[in-house]
Amino acid sequence: MTATVDHSAALRPLMRGAVVGPSDPGYDDGRRVWNGAVDHHPALLARCADVEDVVAAVGYARAARLEIAVRGGAHNSAGLSAGDGTLVVDLGALSAVHVDPATRRVRVGGGALLRDMDAATQEHGLAVPAGEIGHTGVGGLTLGGGMGWLTRRAGLTVDRLRCAQVVTADGRVLRASAEEHPDLFWALRGGGGNFGVVTEFEFDAVETGPVVSFGMFFCGLDEGPALLRAAAGIIDRLPPTVGFQIVAVTAPPAPFVPAEHHLRPGWAVLVVGTTTDPDPEAEAVHDLLRAELPQRLFEFCTPMPWTAVQQMFDEANAWGVHCYEKGCFLPGLTEESIAVLAGHVAGMRSPMSVVHLYTLDGAFSAVADDATAFGGGRSPRIGVFAIGLTPDADGLPAERDRVRGLAAALAPHALGDGVYVNSMMADDAGRVAATYGANLARLAAVKAAYDPDNMFRRNANIAPAR
């Protein structure tokens, strides 16, 4: 009979940070991920205190032949930052953010959250283009692309990345930039966690805030087709500094929502001016929406701190929700895709579920398809995120079926089978090749150079070239 290996005891002498095994206090909290529908039991958690701990953890996993899961914010819907029998490289302690306001350079630890980065940069009136939920990890978001309110003005998060410190599968600590290991630097900008553990990022920031212009225009479900048509006509007239999204959502029971519309499902157009407040360009978009949208149930336009804009979806996406999502890219909003979206949204049952339509153009499309490894292409488009959310497991199967139905109905109208890497679920593995398209062979070659044995495979996995 083969003896069970005590991996925790074997790794502890090699690390400064804590090593937590299944019988240790804190194990259950440490293995939890944001998506409550995911319940993995790792072999051990390596809570790395510094880059040397990461090297030790990766080296031990390689020697013990343990699968690696890398944990930053643990916000990935597929729950890839944990796994049964894995060694979790937990970067939570590597969360420092250093801002140089003179150069607008920002160094961010691999375990930092978006709210950490936003708080530090906003002290200097700066921001790094990133996502829209404060408890998302900077690392995972960046490696898959990173999109949000600043994307039209300043590009994806990867477009602002200037260098990264990476622990590779063979234990080297490399600096990847345009000058050093440029092949690795290219692959990190959109290729996901395939190439190593990134322990630090360095970004260029842009001037934003501290207060910006925010506008919400809310219509009922019956007005969905008319709202989508009107919004489609406005997109081509948007100023480049304005973030613009269309969201199918249930109105929250918040003070800014008239009481008679609390918990009412509908369609909202959200407008964020990304410079300062007052913002004449954002105000002009508000006027366009007032003139061209169908009958509105309410609107809410106000100055808002940038940090509040960045965390406005945090409560609705609190830890422990059960989630399933699907996505695609549309070339625009056509009559056919509008009919699909409006029809399926009318069938949403969980008041927590949403459909986000991101407007992706401007600076997003100013970057060539092969300049970074970002998957899906850079032509002007609408990014669709259909997200089924329920408070517990009981309601999730119905929402999963609904989300899958919407994705299948949109597929004939989409830009191929590609999808935003950060929204991939486990059943999207077959879409990796379509997502990376012409960049896939180059990514596979970089994978072979830095991870030939595919140690880093809990991701939108790219097989190493043979």
Domain boundaries, the chain: 15-90, 97-207+438-450, 211-429
The CATH number of the domain covering residues in 15-90: 3.30.43.10
pLDDT of the chain, 466 residues: tens digit per residue: 345 789 999 999 999 999 999 999 999 999 999 999 999 999 999 999 999 999 999 999 999 999 999 999 999 999 999 999 999 999 999 999 999 999 999 999 999 999 999 999 999 999 999 999 999 999 999 999 999 999 999 999 999 999 999 999 999 999 999 999 999 999 999 999 999 999 999 999 999 999 999 999 999 999 999 999 999 999 999 999 999 999 999 999 999 999 999 999 999 999 999 999 999 999 999 999 999 999 999 999 999 999 999 999 999 999 999 999 999 999 999 999 999 999 999 988 899 999 999 999 999 999 999 999 999 999 999 999 999 999 999 999 999 999 999 999 999 999 999 999 999 999 999 999 999 999 999 999 999 999 999 999 999 999 999 8
Give the SS3 label for residue 183: helix
Tell me the residue type at 342. A
pLDDT of 3: 57
CB 435 within 8 A of CB 460: yes
Rounded Cα gap, residues 269 and 286, in angstroms:
10
pTM, to two decimals:
0.97
Rounded Cα gap, residues 343 and 346, in angstroms:
5
Give the SS3 label for residue 179: coil
Q: Which residue has the tokens 């959109």?
A: 190
Q: In what side-by-side order are the strands of the sheet with 19-20? A: 19-20, 44-47, 87-90, 68-71
DSSP letter (8 states) at residue 362: G
The residues facing 385 across adjacent strands are 327, 356
CB 312 within 8 A of CB 382: no
pLDDT of 2: 44
Report, at the CATH architecture level, how domain 211-429 is classified: 3-Layer(aba) Sandwich (3.40)
How many CA atoms does the CB half-sphere of 254 hold within 13 Å?
12
- CATH among 2.60.40.10, 3.40.50.720, 1.10.8.80, 3.30.465.10 for 97-207+438-450: 3.30.465.10
Tell me the residue type at 98. H
Q: Give the phi and the psi of residue 174 in degrees, each rounded to 5.
A: -115, 150
